């Protein structure tokens, strides 16, 4: 199975780049399943229902989120209407929406996608992500109820991300880190067969500070005083993500490689799909 995960869409330039490039990627690379993190798609803060629906129309099978999931208040309502929209699974019981779900890929495979948020340097601090993941895996184990399992681990600390990867190694197909918006170079297949990357990077303008116009963040580092609001950068976007080849027999990863298309960063596409 060919699975593509695309990192956090940031602002209009990020989401437009995804919408423009994703249909061609699905067709040209013969993708079976696509996941996009959309928590920064609306001006850098949250996501609206219209943006969610447009992302699904472009070819995404699931849209994950993170700590900005509720920044657009309408998300509290529309999250209940769409099972392809995920918020972190380790929110307290009774939180609207869902944190994991089972989907069917284009090749008929059953794909469990779970959105989990870390706790180190993160706000709000949610329930234990490790216990949450354990419950998800017990309810829908790889090879029994699911043919592939993907965790979007939305977290700040790379140590927490790495430990989470080792925790589910051999029981998930892919653990992909999101939140820090900078693509890391540690894509690998762990000892048990789980593909891993600390951060997929963002889909947005890299002439920025994490997708935001750089002047205000720079000002705050220097002066410690706000002069204005953070605004999503509007220059040409680079889309970043990771491609994984998953065994139809075991549900574990066979290959992993980064995807980067656009200006500033060196363009790369998984060569096993080229």
- Would you please indicate which residues are annotated as catalytic (active-site) residues? 68
Name the packing angle between helices 158-168 and 129-139 (round to 10°).
30
Q: Dump the DSSP string for the chain.
A: -EEEEE-EEBHHHHHHHHHHHHHHHHHHTT-SEEEEE-TBTTTTS---HHHHHHHHHHT-SEEE--TTTTSSTTHHHHTTT-TTB---TTSPTT-SS-SEEEEE-TTS-EEEEEEEE--TT-SS--S-HHHHHHHHHHHS-BTTTBSEEEEEEE-S-HHHHHHHHHHHTTT-SEEEEESS-S--S--EE-TTS-EEES---EEB-SSSBTTB-SHHHHHHHHHSS--S---B--S--BEEEEEEEE-TTT-SEEEEEEEEESSSSPPB--TTT-
Measured CA to CA, the distance from residue 1 to residue 111 in angstroms comes to: 10
Measured CA to CA, the distance from residue 174 to residue 75 in angstroms comes to: 26
Structure tokens at 126: 């949610």
Measured CA to CA, the distance from residue 241 to residue 73 in angstroms comes to: 27
């Amino acid at each position: 199975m060919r699975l593509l995960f695309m990192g956090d869409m940031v602002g209009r330039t990020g989401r437009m780049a995804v919408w423009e490039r994703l249909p061609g990627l699905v067709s040209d690379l013969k993708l079976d399943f696509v996941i996009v993190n959309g928590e920064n798609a609306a001006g850098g803060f949250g996501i609206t229902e219209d943006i969610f629906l447009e992302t699904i129309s472009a070819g995404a099978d699931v849209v994950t989120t993170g700590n900005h999931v509720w920044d657009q208040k309408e998300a509290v309502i529309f999250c209940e209407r769409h099972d392809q929209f995920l918020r972190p699974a380790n929110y307290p019981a009774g939180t609207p929406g869902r944190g994991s779900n089972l989907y069917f890929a284009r090749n008929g495979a059953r794909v469990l996608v779970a959105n989990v948020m870390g706790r180190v340097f993160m706000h709000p601090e949610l329930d234990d992500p490790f216990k949450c993941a354990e419950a998800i895996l017990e309810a829908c184990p790889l090879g029994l109820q699911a043919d592939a399992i993907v965790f979007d681990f939305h977290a700040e600390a790379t140590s927490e991300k790495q430990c989470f990867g080792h925790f589910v190694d051999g029981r998930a197909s892919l653990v992909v880190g999101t939140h820090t918006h900078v693509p890391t170079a540690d894509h690998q297949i762990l000892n048990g067969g789980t593909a891993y990357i600390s951060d997929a990077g963002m889909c947005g303008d890299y002439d920025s500070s994490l997708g935001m116009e750089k002047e205000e963040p720079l000002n705050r580092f220097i002066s410690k005083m706000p002069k204005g609001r953070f605004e999503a950068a509007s220059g040409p976007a680079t889309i970043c993500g990771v491609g994984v080849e998953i065994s139809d027999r075991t549900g574990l990863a066979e290959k992993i490689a980064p995807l980067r298309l656009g200006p500033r960063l060196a363009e790369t596409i998984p060569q096993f799909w080229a």
